[in-house]
Structures are given as C-alpha cells and as structure tokens.
Amino acid sequence: MQYTAFDVHKHYTWARVERPDGTLVREKKIPHEPGALRQFLARCEPGSPVAVETVGNWYWIVDEVEAAGCVPQLVHAHKAKLMVGRVNKTDRLDARGLVQLQRAGTLPMVWIPPRELRDVRELPRARMVLVHQRTRLKNRIHATLSKYAIQFPEVADLFGKRGRQKLQARLSELPPHTGFVVSRLLALVESLDREIAALEQRMGELFEVDDATRLLMTIPGVGFILATVMSTEIGDVTRFPRNEQLAAYAGTVPRVHESGGHRHYGPVQTDVNQYLKWAFVEAATVTCRHRRTHPQRHTTRLYERIAHRRGHEKAIVAVARHLAEAAYWMLTKGEPYRDPGSSRGT
C-alpha cells in the first residue's frame, strides 16, 4: 500500500508518495500536460489512494487518477488545512500534510459525484448563473428608470410582452445616451431569455421526473427546475447520516460560537454547496411570498415568528433549513412533503 497526495494548482501538481511507515517514495512537480499525471501514477500500486483537494479543476484530475487504476480521495481543502495546522505554507508541506492525514485515517473527504452526474449538473448550474445575470440587468434598468421618474403602474411585469412594448415606447423620454444604454440592456435581457429557455428545454428533454424529483416537487415553492437542482446536487442522500448534515451542506445552518455559557449564532457557513443553497432559499422565498394564501402552513408560521424577532433574511434562511431537513426525510423514507401542522390537525 502506498499513499499519494496531490497539491493541485492551475498549471502543475506537486505530488508526494509515501509508504505506510512514512518513508518517502518519491515527490515531483508534474506539469499539466496530456498523460503526465497518469504516467506518474503508473508506478504506484494499483488501488492506492490518491488525495486531491477540492480545487476548481479537480474533475479531470479525478478522471486521470481513476484511469491510472488508483482510488481518488476528494479532500475538503479548508478542513484539511485546519487539521494539519501548519504555520508555513509550501507545495511540499501541503502535500506532506495530506499524506499524514491519509496515514492517520483522518483525511476529511467529500463525496465524488459520478462522471455522468458531474456532466448533467452543468445544465442547471449554468441556468442559475444566467438567471442571476438577467436579474442584475433587470435591476439596472429599473434603477435607471427610477432616476427619471418613469413608472409603469399599469403593468405587473415590466419585462413581460406588454411591459416591454410600453418600455420601448417610452425610451424617448430618457436622455439620448441613457435611452441607448437601456435599449442595449433590454436587448441583453432578451438574449438571456433565449439562452435560459434553451437550457430549460434541454433539461426537460434530459431529466426525467423520477421518484426523487416527484417527491421534491411536493415541497412548497418547488417546481421541476428547483427539484432538478436539488436532486442533482444532493445525489445519493444516504451519504448524509442526519438531516442536520444535509441542511449544513445546503448552507442553511448558522455558525455557532459558545463560550462561558453564552451561545451566539452567526451567519451561515460559506464553504457549502452554493447551488443547493440557492435552490432551498429560492423555494423558501417563493412559499413565503404566497404566505397570505396559506396562513396555516408551517412555513408561513415559521417565517412570521422569526421575521418578527430577527428580520426577513434570517426568517427566509430558517424556512430554507426546514425545507432542506424535510427533503432529507422525504428522500430517505420515500414519502412526499407533509406539513408538520397536519399531524396536529391544524
């Protein structure tokens, strides 16, 4: 048995191989050239573990490790650095620290999604990025119109078909350069609309409404798109021992600092699955937006109770955490969403 660790960078990887007793076998700087990593691993024993940090280009590194007959171990980079606890930082020290954690059996590993899942995830992830860009452009247009007191109270959606017609008709009321800018921003919004629609069409053709998606769509505020994001980002729910761990992975659990009998809850964690966090926060926002229609729903009562004391944002996160924990139990038990109030006859 040999232990191998990769300290991966953009253009090269520093690799270190040790025996179980800590004896150095070899270490080398490997350029990111076709076949270089596989050639280095060819000298390792088949089935040997290879630690790879969760850097931005880990996809192809993991593929190379598997192709060489070794077992990739995806490492939680932040936790690993805390566990190693080194003051100094070099490529050689980082790789040595990972191997030490490997030999001790304390390497903080994360789940490696299958290659096919990594591929299809790009569709909903790209859609989310484009939606965010479109929202920023829309907000920019709204802000520009507000500067010149141009309002459209007669339309509910300024970027719907009727709203855009009215907006185009009133661009001449803006100063010439400002009007030109708004027209170009509107053209970008329309372009993003087409790209988002293309992604959604491909998602509809690719993703089937399987059992997991069908269950997730019973959550308040969740439709096909959000259910698809949740399903692909969660993957195998059995990798989470408890519902709290899924909620933490989704970025809906606040940090806790307790000392001397005093407990303080801070902001939510940042090193989480941002896509899953967006999906649950989006679902919480949608269901809370329609809370007047469902006053007895648990999410409504939870939102209003916390919003009264701690504000809107914390209340939304609390609702998102409830939905994340509910999703865990739904997927684990194979049951649709059931409002907690229903068990009490409310």
Residues 237, 331: one domain?
yes
Same domain as 340, residue 223: yes
Provide mean pLDDT across the span 32-61. Answer: 92
Q: Answer yes or no: do 107 and 136 share one domain.
A: no
Using alpha carbons, select from 67, 55, 63, 59 the residue that is nearest to residue 14.
Answer: 55
Q: 264 forms bridges with which residues in the sheet? A: 257
Backbone angles phi, psi at 296, to 5 degrees: -90, -5
253-284 pLDDT per residue, tens:
987 766 777 676 777 777 889 999 999 999 99
Query: What pLDDT was estimated at residue 194?
Result: 97
**What's the whole-model pTM score?**
0.85
Domain shared by 139 and 260, yes or no: no
Tracing tokens 């109030």 back to the chain, one arrives at 341
CA-CA distance, 109 to 60, in Å (whole number)? 18
Do residues 59 and 90 both lie within one domain? yes
Share the mean pLDDT of the chain.
92
Same domain membership, residue 79 and residue 32: yes
Phi, psi values for residue 265, rounded to 5°: -100, 120
Beta-bridged to residue 259, according to DSSP, are 262
Which of 181, 206, 231 is the last residue before a domain boundary? 206
CATH assignment of the domain containing 49: 3.30.420.10
With H, G, I as helix, E, B as strand and everything else as coil, classify residue 282. Answer: helix
H-helix or E-strand spanning residue 258? strand 254-259
Phi/psi region, residue 5 (left: phi>0; alpha: psi -120 to 50; beta: rest), is beta
pLDDT tens across 189-229, in order?
999 999 999 999 999 999 989 999 999 999 999 999 999 99
Q: By residue range, what is the domain housing residue 285?
A: 212-344
In this structure, the answer to whether residues 229 and 322 fall within a common structural domain is yes
Count of structural domains, the chain = 3
Q: Is the pLDDT of residue 343 over 70?
A: no
Q: Name the nearest CA neighbour of 98 among 111, 115, 81.
A: 81
Longest Cα–Cα distance in the chain: 78
The dihedral built from the CA positions of residue 17, 22, 25 and 28, taken in this order, carries a sign that is positive
Q: Which of 187, 206, 225 is the last residue of a domain?
A: 206
Using alpha carbons only, give the angle 229, 230, 233 rounded to the nearest 5 degrees: 80
CB atoms < 10 A from the CB of 91, how many? 17
Compute the distance between CA of residue 315 and CA of residue 174 in angstroms, rounded to an integer.
Answer: 39
Whole-angstrom distance, CA of residue 48 vs CA of residue 37:
14
- Clarify whether residues 196 and 291 are in a common domain: no
**Within this chain, do residues 197 and 217 fall inside the same structural domain, yes or no?**
no
Q: Is the Cα torsion angle 308, 312, 313, 317 positive or negative in sign?
A: positive
Q: Residue 100 above 50 pLDDT? A: yes
For residue 65, pLDDT over 90 is answered with yes
Domain identity same for 250 and 315: yes
Q: Average pLDDT for residues 311-319, to the nearest whole number?
A: 94
- Can you give the pLDDT at residue 346? 36
Chosen domain end from 77, 112, 147:
112
Residues 29 and 59 both lie in one domain = yes
**Residues above pLDDT 90, as percent of the chain:** 82
CA terminus-to-terminus distance, the chain: 60
pLDDT of 87 reads: 77
Whether residues 130 and 196 share a domain: the answer is yes
Quick one: 110 exposed, middle or buried, by C-beta within 10 A (0-12, 13-18, 19+)? Answer: middle
pLDDT category at 107 given cuts 50, 70, 90 is very high
